[in-house]
A = this chain, B = another copy of it.
Amino acid sequence: MTQTDHSTAFTRRLAGFAIDTPPCDLPAAALDLARLSLFDWCAVALAGVNEPAGRIVRTLVEREAGRPEATVLGLDERLPARAAALANGTLSHALDYDDTHFGHIGHPTVAVLPAALAVAEQSGATGGELLAAYLVGVEVACRLGAALGPDHYRHGFHQTATSGSFGAAAACARLLGLDVDTTSHALGLTATRASGLKSQFGTMGKPFHAGMAAANGVEASALAALGFVSRPDGIECPQGFAATHGAELREVEPPAGRYLFEAIQYKLHACCHGTHAALEALLGLRENHAIRPGQVSTVLLTTHPTWLKVCDLAQPATGLEAKFSYRLTAAMVLAGVDTAALESFSDATCARPDLVALRDRVEVVADTDVAETAARVEIALDDGRHLVAEHDLANPLPLANKQAKLQAKAQALIGAETAERLWQVIAKLELGPASALAEVLRAAGPGITR
């Protein structure tokens, strides 16, 4: 590892940022987005409450039982904060419908928020303290993810799990009122606990990564609070987390007064975020040119090479695999299947002859000139027309539009009434205890019966 002077005490600087940033210094734009992410997480987590991966982890922690500290979605009884983080992290990522950050290269909220929510409830924090802890934690995850960079991801690590663990630990450290030294030990302990491999994609291992990260954060911060001593420079030290996990540490600074987190993206299709730019481009062409599936001769889909290892399953057979298939999701869009609906991703969809025929006319190629957030699609029709469109998810969308889209998504996922109740609590989060949000989630959980 090449170390610059700047990267000295990287771990300690993350710790200081996490616990010393006063609430008045949190950027307003970042706070607005944090509130949206919190709302979106609640909707996606409730919608996924009975997905197999989350249900299994919940069964495990329910069986272990323990001190009633924190809410587990889908259970009436509270469980220890670590257990709640493990279960809620897993179930909230089970649908793969949660937010994404392309600089972090992962899903930061499903790792950080379950940890922050559990420890906020455990420690009697206010709603404002929860929001602030979540925001600094998710920013730590984004800053570390960006610093570890694409090399770490290409090497095979899943940032949701790895950087997510550090973000979760940072959020918990703030909620527990740890000092900088103690927080550095919590992050240093996280350095030896964090794990998670991309090769688990397409299995229950992927959503479990979010639970692992959240639980790692709760556990590491609790141990540090009890006096556990680790390497306070655990990320940047020789044979530390960065050096052993395929990464140099290249710090990415946000613009002054901004957070990296502000580039957060929300999923409006119920599949891997890597497919979304292509799906948006295809949707645009289909709507603008009234394409019928039978007209399509070939589709050429150009994406950044990064995604070929992530979501280019050529012949998906299960609903879960379908979420990671450019070819099938492209066919679904062209055939008018609603890719925003969870139900669309099924084994039956994978087997539909018309979709398979369309899928087999889609070719996927990579081009480093295409941004990681973008895609280009070219459709050749049997009447000789050749249509081209590009879409870049990084193009900005006003906050009000995001909020409206997320409210519509939440209504579709958990019903208008629960969505509205959640939004009311989150909009006024600073006015009450963090447990008020947990109460709404606990009340809604068992009633969700998708």
Contacts and interface: CB of A to CB of B under 8 A. Distances in A.
A84 to B, nearest CB: 11
A97 interface: no
How often does this chain occur in the complex, in copies? 2
B199 A231 contact: yes
Contacts of A226: 56, 59-60
B64 A80 contact: yes
Given A65-B80, A66-B66, A237-B199, A53 B205 contact: no
Contacts of A241: 197
A12 interface: no
A64 B234 CA distance: 26
A75 to B, nearest CB: 14
Contact of A205 (B63, B156, B192): B192
A56 B223 contact: yes
Nearest to A165: B195
A8 interface: no
Nearest to A199: B239
Interface string A239-273: 11101101000000000000000000000000000
A204 interface: yes
Contact of A231 (B56, B196, B205, B243): B205
Interface in A164-213: 188-189, 191-200, 203-205, 208-209, 212
Contact of A223 (B60, B158, B231, B234): B60
Given A57-B223, A83-B64, A195 B197 contact: no
A199 B66 contact: no
Most buried by B among A67, A226, A228: A228
Contacts of A63: 67
What 5 A-B pairs come out closest when comparing CB atoms? A156-B239, A66-B66, A156-B244, A195-B195, A64-B80
Given A200-B234, A219-B60, A157 B205 contact: no
Contacts of A196: 192
A229 interface: yes
Contacts of A199: 191-192, 231, 234, 237-240, 244
Contact of A204 (B204, B228, B234, B238): B228
Interface string A266-282: 00000000000000000
A13 interface: no
A204 B231 CA distance: 9
A210 to B, nearest CB: 12
Contacts of A158: 192
A334 interface: no
A271 to B, nearest CB: 19
Given A52-B227, A189-B205, 16 more contacts: A56-B226, A60-B223, A60-B226, A63-B67, A64-B67, A65-B66, A66-B66, A192-B200, A192-B212, A198-B239, A199-B231, A199-B234, A199-B240, A203-B231, A205-B234, A239-B309
